Amino acid sequence: MALLRSLLFAIAGVNTVLATSCPFGHTSGDDVHNDRRAVPQNSNDFLDQYTINSTDKFLTSDVGGPIEDQDSLTAGERGPTLLEDFIFRQKITHFDHERVPERAVHARGAGAHGVFESYGDWSNITAASFLGAPGKKTPMFVRFSTVAGSRGSADTARDVHGFALRFYTDEGNFDMVGNNIPVFFIQDAILFPDLIHAVKPSPDSEIPQAATAHDSAWDFFSQQPSTLHTLFWAMAGQGIVRSYRHMDGFGVHTFRFVTNDGKSKLVKFSWKTLQGKAGLVWEEAQALAGKNADYHREDLFESIEKGYYPQWEFGVQIMNEEDQFKFGFDLLDPTKIVPEELVPITKLGKITLNQNPRNYFAETEQVMFQPAHIVRGIDFSDDPLLQGRVFSYLDTQLNRHGGPNFEQLPINMPRVPIHNNNRDGQAQMFVHANKAAYSPNTLNGGSPKQANQQTGRGFFTAPQRSVSGNLVRSVASTLKSDYWSQPRLFFNSLLPAEKQFLINAIRFETSKLKSATVKKNALAQLNKISNEVATQVAKALGVAAPAPDPKFYHNNKTKGVSTFSNELLSLKGLKIGYLSTAGTASTATSIKSSLAKEGVQLVVVAEHLADGVDMTYSAADATSFDGVIVAANIDSTFSGAPSNASSLYPLARPLQILQESYRYGKPVGFLGEKIRDANIPFGPGVYVSSSSGSRKTEEDGKKGYKFLRRAATNSTMGGSANGTAQ
Catalytic positions are: 106, 179
Give the nearest distance from C-beta 164 to ligand HDE in angstroms: 4
DSSP SS3 for 372: coil
Of the pair 8, 160, the CB lying nearest ligand HDE is at 160
Residue 4 or 164: which CB sits closer to ligand HDE?
A: 164
Establish if 646 lies at the interface with ligand HDE (CB under 6 A): no
CB-based contact 629:669 (threshold 8 Å)? yes
**Binding flag, residue 177, ligand HDE (CB under 6 A):** yes
Q: Is 509 within 8 Å of 213 (Cβ atoms)? A: yes
Neighbours of 429 (CB within 10 A): 11
Query: Which residue of 13, 114, 139, 178 would you call a contact of ligand HDE, by CB under 6 A?
Result: 178
Q: Between residues 161 and 703, which has the closer beta carbon with respect to ligand HDE?
A: 161
- Residue 616 CA to residue 274 CA, distance in Å, equals 33
Burial of 194 (0-12, 13-18, 19+ CB in 10 A): middle
Q: Give the Cα separation of 422 and 409 in Å (integer).
A: 16
Question: In angstroms, what is the minimal distance from the CB of 538 to ligand HDE?
Answer: 31
Whether the upstream peptide bond of residue 546 has omega within 30° of 0, thus cis, is no
Q: Does 372 contact ligand HDE by CB under 6 A?
A: no
- 704: which residues sit within 8 A by CB, 6+ positions away? 6, 9, 10, 11, 12, 13, 14, 667, 684, 685
CB atoms within 10 A of CB 468: 4
Cis previous bond, 448, omega within 30:
yes
Interaction between residue 654 and ligand HDE (CB under 6 A)? no
Stretch 250-309 residues interacting with ligand HDE (CB under 6 A):
252
Task: Report the alpha-carbon distance of residue 490 to residue 499 in Å, rounded.
Answer: 10
According to CB under 6 A, which one of 8, 12, 38, 106 is a site residue for ligand HDE? 106
The verdict on 189 binding ligand HDE (CB under 6 A) reads yes
Told to check if 184 binds ligand HDE by CB under 6 A, we report yes
d(CA 253, CA 331) in angstroms, rounded, equals 8
Among 151, 160, 154, 165, CA closest to 103:
151
Residues 84-103 that bind ligand HDE (CB under 6 A): 103
Residue number, 393 or 662, with CB nearest to ligand HDE: 393
Nearest of 236, 306, 314, 296 to residue 533 by alpha carbon: 236
Measured CA to CA in angstroms, residue 452 lies from 69, 170, 283, 374, 458 at distances of 55, 16, 55, 14, 4
Closest distance between ligand HDE and the C-beta of residue 178, in Å? 5
- Build a one-symbol-per-residue string for 311-350: x at contacts with ligand HDE by CB under 6 A, - elsewhere: ----------------------------------------
Q: Which is nearer to ligand HDE, 143 or 214 (CB)?
A: 143
Binding mask 386-425 for ligand HDE (x = CB under 6 A): --xx--xx--x-----------------------------
393 is in an annotated binding site: yes
Q: Please report whether residue 145 would count as binding ligand HDE according to CB under 6 A.
A: yes
Query: What is the four-CA torsion angle of 536, 534, 278, 686, rounded to 10 degrees?
Result: 20
Answer whether 457's CB lies under 8 Å from 376's CB.
yes
- Our separate counts of H helices and E strands in the chain read 19, 17
366 binds ligand HDE (CB under 6 A): no
Q: Nearest 5°: phi and psi at 653?
A: -70, -50
Q: Is 220 in the site for ligand HDE (CB under 6 A)?
A: no
Residue number with the shortest CB distance to ligand HDE?
162
Nearer to ligand HDE by Cβ, of 103 and 336: the residue is: 103
Give the nearest distance from C-beta 225 to ligand HDE in angstroms.
17
Q: Is 245 in the site for ligand HDE (CB under 6 A)?
A: no
Cβ atoms 460, 376 nearer than 8 A? yes
* Binding range to ligand HDE, per CB under 6 A, among 66-74, 149-157, 381-389, 528-536: 381-389
Binding mask 10-49 for ligand HDE (x = CB under 6 A): ----------------------------------------
Binding-site members are 393
Residues that bind ligand HDE (CB under 6 A): 103-106, 109, 143, 145, 162, 164, 177-179, 184, 189, 192, 252, 368-369, 385, 388-389, 392-393, 396
Q: From the annotation, which residues make up the binding site for heme?
A: 393
